[in-house]
Amino acid sequence: MYAVFVCIGVFAFVNGYVNVALNKPAYQQYQYQPGDDRYDANNVVDGRKSDLSRDGGQCAVSYGKQTATWWVNMTTIHSIHHITIYFRTNNKPLGPSNYLTKYVLGFSVYVSNTTDKLQGTLCYKDDNFTLDTIPAVFTTACPVHGQYVIFYNERRPGTIYPGDYSKYVFSDLCEVEVYGCPTTGYFGFNCSVPCPDVNCQYCHIETGTCHVCKTGYRSYRCELACDKGSYGSQCKEICGHCRDTDQCSNINGTCLTGCDAGYQGNLCRTGE
């Protein structure tokens, strides 16, 4: 779990990062009045957040159900620094007197390379906020890489929730901002410093420590090619029937000196 900040002012020092979610395609589960753009998922990434009401056309609004999901597809994998969420408040303070507050409690934020949150990283899970403490604008650090940012909440039958929680949940969000680097392979305050390890595909946005090696490489600094007989992303693929296993490309598995007797094709997987 990463450190959580509930006031975007504390992030004044990171304004060199870019909102990589702005105007990207978005989706929500159970949209209120489907087809009415006033409640559409894309309102959450349009840069507008001056009217946090239901009908102002700047928020996503859903029907109350047992689960609530909203996500933004940033279209490519990005290096992320932090995520800021503006909840729908009807332009009133969140708190015990605002009926919307109880619908937010218990939410989660994920970053994933697919729309499946379980294949991604859990950036934040609310286990502590109450009607008195949850902020209208929430920010969490999440220094990972991903293509989708997913907001999720649930009220499962048979599960006992705190007394402040609602019976159903909504994906009523007014803006989600995802700050990070617009191009992978860089890190630092202005995303201007190349990742220090030459074979590193994705590095930590602040420290430059490698997260993921380029295809065909491994080890802490990605300085080693895949072990003999393996290749590909994270060296998870197994070479085919190469004539010489030392001559299997660590990048794409091509048998550089041909196939073993009885096999053919670039990867030498097909029997003659």
The residues spanned by each domain of the chain are 4-181
- CATH number for 4-181 (one of 2.70.70.10, 2.60.120.260, 2.60.120.480, 3.30.300.170): it is 2.60.120.260
Q: Is the pLDDT of residue 272 over 70?
A: no
Instruction: Report the distance separating Cα 40 and Cα 210, nearest Å.
Output: 37
pLDDT of residue 229: 94
pLDDT of residue 65: 98
Q: Is the pLDDT of residue 9 over 60?
A: no
Q: What is the mean pLDDT of the chain?
A: 93
| Tens-place pLDDT, residues 148-172 | 999 999 999 999 999 999 999 999 9
Residue by residue, DSSP assigns 18-87 as EETTTT--EEESSBSSTT-GGG-GGGGGSS--S--SSSSSSSB-B--BSEEEEEEEEEEEEEEEEEEEEE
- Tokens standing for residue 224: 């080693």
pLDDT of residue 19: 97
CB 83 within 8 A of CB 39: no
| Tens-place pLDDT, residues 210-246 | 989 999 999 989 999 999 999 999 999 999 999 998 9
Whole-structure pTM value: 0.85
pLDDT of residue 15: 57
The 3-state DSSP class for residue 202 equals strand
Q: Is the pLDDT of residue 251 over 80?
A: yes
| Tens-place pLDDT, residues 121-150 | 999 999 999 999 999 999 999 999 999 999
The residue-averaged pLDDT of 112-121 equals 97
pLDDT of residue 107: 99
The residue-averaged pLDDT of 238-257 equals 94
> How confident is residue 7, by pLDDT bands cut at 50, 70 and 90?
very low
The residue-averaged pLDDT of 182-199 equals 91
